[in-house]
Amino acid sequence: MRFGATFLTFFIVSFLLSGLTASFVIVPLFGEGLGEMLRSADDASAFPSMIAGFALYSLAAAWFLLNTRAADSWLMNGLLVGAAFVVFITGQYAILPGWSVLPVNPTIGSGIVSGLPAIPAAIAAAFVAARLGRSGAAVSA
């Protein structure tokens, strides 16, 4: 139960915040540089792979949050795990232009912005994991 709740929390928060950052930050800042490489809002042809990607990130985040102790508090642990995910995500975006025709600056810039929702998602997931405790039953604050 604890793993599932941690997974779901990370998934929901990161998915929702990523949608907001895509609409209000990535498209306005990097849309021109990425041009037709960005999908239009009504093109959902790659939606299944996007959901799979968020699920993979969420599986990894839940595992890290439940099996590593980067800090003594759930807040700092969530912050550190989220920051690590920003680094991993940005790294992936930095690799892509090396073997594809994606433009370097807008791809890496959009990668940094795309990674940022991992921080509040990891903090929220760490909170849920801490509240559920080791046994999966809720613990008091």
- pLDDT tens for each residue of the chain, 141 residues long: 999 999 999 999 999 999 999 889 988 888 888 877 777 767 767 888 999 999 999 999 999 999 988 788 999 999 999 999 999 999 999 999 998 888 899 999 999 999 999 999 999 999 999 999 865 444 433
Q: Which amino acid is at 117?
A: P
Cα 29 to chain centroid distance, Å, stands at 19
Residue 70, domain member (yes or no):
yes
Residue 141, domain member (yes or no):
no
Residue 99, domain member (yes or no):
yes
Q: Give the predicted TM-score (pTM) of the model.
A: 0.88
Tally of domains within the chain:
1
- Cα separation of 88 and 106, whole Å? 17
Residue 98, domain member (yes or no):
yes
Q: Which domain holds residue 67?
A: 2-31+49-132
Residue 138, domain member (yes or no):
no
- Cα separation of 38 and 135, whole Å? 44
